[in-house]
Amino acid sequence: MSQTRHVPVMLQRCLDLLAPALEAPGPQPPVVVDCTLGLGGHSEALLSAFPTARLIALDRDKEALRLSGERLAPYGDRATLVHAVYDELPEVLDRLGVPKVQGILFDLGVSSMQLDEADRGFAYAQDAPLDMRMDQSTGMGAAEVLNTYPPGELVRILRAYGEEKQAKRIVSAVVREREKEPFSNSARLVELIRDSLPQAAKRTGGNPAKRTFQALRIEVNGELTVLERAIPAAVRSLAVGGRIAVLSYHSLEDRLVKQVFAAGAANTAPAGLPVVPERYQPRLKLLTRGAELPTEEEVAENRRAAPARLRGAQRIRAEER
């Protein structure tokens, strides 16, 4: 597997956001968590940029852990790789005896490896079994979702997770076709989507199958449900002064991150108090004005960076006991 093809998204900006927390002097080496290890591009850069830091990296994909393990081997015991989904962060830290961490990075969405390995079924540009599970040892794949979910549930998933305006047309075609023969491969689904859409819908927004594939991937991996738990859990895992950076790739993820950060940065005191008690003070300080976007140069170099949205926050107050 060539590691040169994997270009980490908004890498320097992520390092800059986390740097003040990982360079601050302290009694112990700082701990940074890469919640979405993937091929290890961000993790390798974190270990290289912050030579005193200890890295804990999570991934639900065993193949990603194996490949990244080879890549990060030169860093020895500074890197601890864990097979886990990112909402399991509190349990992982507890198991490792790490009470709080100084930095956390999320790079959400599908890793380059999963998109590039044809047999995983994530990519609509090549024919492959319709799987899309990030952890292939558990759960149902995309084919099973397509073949067994009631039509109304499929419409809901395509609308909610793919923001697909033509969800009803696509699902009608899927239901008609699955009765003739169950779905198993991606090429048949891509062709069906192309045939289902009106001409005007095919002319906008790249491959017409893109939104459906995104929706199925999110459903198969429970991504938004996991993220709803993971971002608040990550904020709670930060030491005071610690920083979190989150890269999202579609509006649903970004909205969720925005809501958690905004709630943490809000003053929750009842109106009219002359002095705001400590427990009502904000727990977070926002480090980005809205969501930051990749530069034109970065998008030209790495097309997968195009939809990225980066938000950062700093922990400024401990949890109330």
Residue numbering of the annotated binding site for S-adenosyl-L-methionine: 40-42, 59, 86, 107, 114
**What one-character DSSP code corresponds to residue 129?**
B
Among 98, 74, 218, 81, residue whose Cα is nearest residue 159: 218
| DSSP states of 263-311 | HHTS--PPTT-SS--GGGS-SEEE-SSS-B---HHHHHH-GGGTT-EEE
Q: Quote the CA–CA distance of 125 and 91 in Å, as a whole number.
A: 38
Q: Quote the CA–CA distance of 27 and 8 in Å, as a whole number.
A: 31
**What one-character DSSP code corresponds to residue 81?**
E
φ, ψ of residue 290 to 5 degrees: the values are: 65, -150
Among 213, 174, 164, 165, residue whose Cα is nearest residue 195: 174
Binding-site positions: 40-42, 59, 86, 107, 114
Query: Which residues are 59's β-sheet partners?
Result: 83
Contact 223, 142 (CB under 8 A): no
Among 149, 201, 210, residue whose Cα is nearest residue 157: 149
Query: Which residues are 32's β-sheet partners?
Result: 55, 103
φ, ψ of residue 60 to 5 degrees: the values are: -90, -10
